[in-house]
Amino acid sequence: MSLNREKYLAFVTLLEQLRSDATTTQILAPEIRQRVATLQQFFGQQIVPLADENWRVQSYQTEMSKQLRLLAIDVMFLQGARQASTVQTRLQTISDRLTTLIQYCDAILQPEAEGEK
């Protein structure tokens, strides 16, 4: 399971980097869009194929897939924003969605530390 764990940890690192950049730097919408596409690709190629019969993990993966699609939509809305206040609101929404994705990964990784119950 350590290989699976490494992939989830790598995914969390990508999520945290994007969240940090989106909230602390003047990152441009096209760059955010590109990085979200990279996240989606990583998720599809590295996370989805992880075979897990655990219904809980499958449920989290389904939710993560949905959140990634919504994140892409949030980025489209960010690109359409013209006023500074709207841009800030969109960036906050993106940050919140990234936080949710990180929490889902943490929830999947948690039982490994505690031992499967």
What phi and psi, each to the nearest 5 degrees, are found at residue 61?
Answer: -65, -40
pLDDT for residue 95: 96
pLDDT surpassing 80 at residue 63? yes
The 10s digit of each residue's pLDDT in 71-114 is 999 999 999 999 999 999 999 999 999 999 999 999 999 865 45
Go through the domains of the chain in sequence order and give each one's CATH number: 3-109 (1.20.120.520)
pLDDT surpassing 80 at residue 115? no
**Amino acid at site 28:** L
Between CA 66 and CA 44 the distance in angstroms is 12
Residue length of the chain: 117
Between CA 45 and CA 96 the distance in angstroms is 24
pLDDT for residue 89: 94
Between CA 56 and CA 101 the distance in angstroms is 15
Residue 78: count of CB within 10 angstroms of its CB? 20
pTM across the whole model: 0.89
Greater pLDDT, 108 or 51: 108
The 10s digit of each residue's pLDDT in 1-15 is 467 899 999 999 999
Cβ burial of 90 (10 Å; 0-12, 13-18, 19+) is: buried
